[in-house]
Homo-oligomer: A and B are copies of this chain.
Amino acid sequence: MKKMMNAPENFVDEMLEGILAAHPDMLTTAGGDLRCIITEKGKRPGRVAITTGGGSGHLPVFLGYVGDGMIDGCSVGNVFASPSANQMLSITKAIDNGAGVLYIYGNYGGDIMNFDMAAEMADMDDIEVQQVIVADDVLSAPKGSEDKRRGIAGMFFAYKIAGAAANEIRSLDEVKAVTERALAGVRTVGVGLSPCIIPEKGKPGFTIGDDEMEIGMGIHGEPGIRREKMKSADEIVEEIMDKLLPDVPYESGDEVAVLVNGLGGTPLEELYIIYRKVNMVLKEKGIRVHRPYIGEFATSMEMAGMSITLMKLDDELKALLDAPAETPFFVQK
């Protein structure tokens, strides 16, 4: 196992110690618990607070978006494992500005169970909580079963829209509503080219041939819909766009945000070759790219591969997307 780490059981805590040491002006902990990361900026009276949470191994997701203009807290689990309801509650209390707390997280059983429990406990403390579940992975469940889809890179857009809406001092119901409206137009499809190794396991979660790729693979290595021989970048993009576009659907004249997301082991050069074709396909269909994001936004440690996310836009969503943000892992002027 070729990882730059110390004892595998310390992987997550030492990563967190590194992040806190690097960004003390932006991040701190709730109650001294390393696994409960919150913004250092303190209370912002009247602003809806937003928290997320999930397993480790996906940087910048999840905690990398704690900061100005996005989210306020993140509970951190072990690699690919849900954090606990107690962590979530502790963060909820720490970040609440009196305007309620929005939970935004991916559609995974463990996370849902724990966030539900945290919300119940918060209610007993008279903190109003609402929840938004991200389920953008088109190929993880067919149309009509959207509620069974996993949450992957689309999370980024949920944080961005919700954070910008909260900064406008909208109410909890309003922040939730606009985030859900945004997510109704968010779709992702990924392709995995290599496995990754969970530090404490020490070996890859699956194997894949040297000339194979898997369309629809999840960010924990969940199986996709099809394993096939490596194709050209343009063919991969065409296949993915054929899944993404009809699922919303789009018309000529529509505007989108595009996220070409590296899964951890894929170089930026390849992501731009991918974006080139995404842009061409959209142009052919008369769909205008309002803002592209290209880089690593939601990874699976050293996994090679990428995902493409589209978010359909309107004027309100464009304004929220364009609002400035600054977190340790994402800066937009």
Residues of A within 8 A of B (CB): 2-6, 11, 14-19, 21-22, 56-57, 59-60, 64, 191, 193-194, 196, 210-211, 213, 230, 232-234, 236, 264-276, 279, 292, 294-296, 299, 301-302, 304, 306, 326, 329, 331-333
Partner pick for A301 among B17, B267, B276, CB 8 A cutoff: B267
- Verify A272–B18 contact, CB threshold 8 A: yes
Besides A2-B211, A16-B272, A268-B296, 8 more A-B contacts (Cβ < 8 Å) are A4-B306, A5-B232, A5-B270, A6-B233, A21-B275, A57-B269, A267-B302, A331-B333
A6, A196, A306 interface centre (most CB from chain B within 10 Å): A6
Question: A262 to nearest B CB, angstroms?
Answer: 9
- Which B residues touch A17, using CB under 8 A? 276
Q: A265-B265, A299-B268, A326-B333 are in contact. Are A2 and B210 (CB under 8 A)?
A: yes
- Verify A14–B210 contact, CB threshold 8 A: no
Q: A2-B194, A2-B230, A326-B333 are in contact. Are A11 and B272 (CB under 8 A)?
A: no
- Which B residues touch A6, using CB under 8 A? 232-234, 273
Question: A40 to nearest B CB, angstroms?
Answer: 15
Question: A297 to nearest B CB, angstroms?
Answer: 11
Question: A270 to nearest B CB, angstroms?
Answer: 4
- Verify A59–B268 contact, CB threshold 8 A: yes
Partner pick for A15 among B213, B264, B273, B299, CB 8 A cutoff: B273
A57, A193, A266 interface centre (most CB from chain B within 10 Å): A266
Assembled-state Cα–Cα distance A312/B36 (Å): 34
- Which B residues touch A60, using CB under 8 A? 268
* Chain B residue with the shortest CB-CB distance to A331: B331
Question: A300 to nearest B CB, angstroms?
Answer: 9
* Chain B residue with the shortest CB-CB distance to A10: B273
- Verify B266–A233 contact, CB threshold 8 A: no
- Verify A14–B276 contact, CB threshold 8 A: yes
- Which B residues touch A233, using CB under 8 A? 4-6, 14
- Verify A18–B267 contact, CB threshold 8 A: no
- Which B residues touch A292, using CB under 8 A? 22
Partner pick for A18 among B276, B302, B331, CB 8 A cutoff: B276
- Verify B331–A275 contact, CB threshold 8 A: no
- Verify B265–A302 contact, CB threshold 8 A: yes
- Which B residues touch A22, using CB under 8 A? 272, 275, 279, 292, 294
Q: A22-B294, A266-B302, A331-B332 are in contact. Are A274 and B2 (CB under 8 A)?
A: no
Assembled-state Cα–Cα distance A132/B14 (Å): 38
- Which B residues touch A210, using CB under 8 A? 2
Assembled-state Cα–Cα distance A271/B273 (Å): 26
A/B interface sample: 10 pairs, CB < 8 A = A4-B193, A4-B274, A5-B270, A5-B273, A15-B276, A19-B272, A22-B294, A60-B268, A64-B268, A296-B296
